């Protein structure tokens, strides 16, 4: 049987997931079932295609340069940036605290800067 070959390299880049020290502390403070859900979601959504926006899980944030993305995991929100080889997790916060965290910690985009029209 001859194997079908395409001209495309199907190898995917695996992104390293990097957590800030305060994010590690926050992750450890979560209840075990929530911690497990967050870890599973990071593995599933961030290792292969962290920039893939979806209506229900991953959102490209508007109006802020940093963080670039938000991952929704039940009642938790994971804010992260993507580099060439890594997903840098900046924070894990509750849904109720997400906007306050963005207001305090987010870096606003400059007028006319990148990311303002992506959604």
Phi first, then psi: give them for residue 19, nearest 5 degrees: -110, 135
Q: Are 48 and 71 in contact (CB under 8 A)?
A: no
- What is the residue-level pLDDT of the chain in tens, covering all 119 positions? 455 554 554 455 689 999 989 999 999 999 999 999 999 999 988 888 899 998 879 999 988 889 999 999 999 999 999 998 999 999 999 999 999 999 999 988 877 555 444 43
Please tell me the predicted confidence (pLDDT) of residue 47: 83
Residues in the chain: 119
Q: Which helix (H) or strand (E) holds 72?
A: strand 69-73
Please tell me the predicted confidence (pLDDT) of residue 55: 80
Please tell me the predicted confidence (pLDDT) of residue 117: 41
Please tell me the predicted confidence (pLDDT) of residue 46: 85
Please tell me the predicted confidence (pLDDT) of residue 23: 94
Please tell me the predicted confidence (pLDDT) of residue 5: 52
CATH number for the domain whose boundaries are 16-107: 3.30.2310.20
């Amino acid at each position: 049987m001859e194997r079908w070959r395409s001209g495309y390299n199907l190898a995917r880049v695996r992104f390293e997931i990097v957590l800030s020290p305060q994010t590690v502390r926050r992750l450890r403070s979560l209840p075990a079932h929530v911690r497990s859900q967050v870890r599973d979601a990071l593995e599933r959504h961030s290792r292969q295609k962290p920039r893939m926006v979806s209506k229900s899980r991953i959102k490209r944030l508007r109006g802020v340069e940093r963080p670039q993305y938000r991952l929704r995991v039940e009642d938790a929100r994971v804010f992260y940036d993507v580099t060439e080889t890594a997903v840098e997790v900046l924070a894990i916060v509750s849904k109720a605290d997400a906007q306050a965290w963005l207001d305090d910690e987010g870096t606003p985009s400059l007028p006319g800067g990148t990311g303002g029209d992506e959604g």
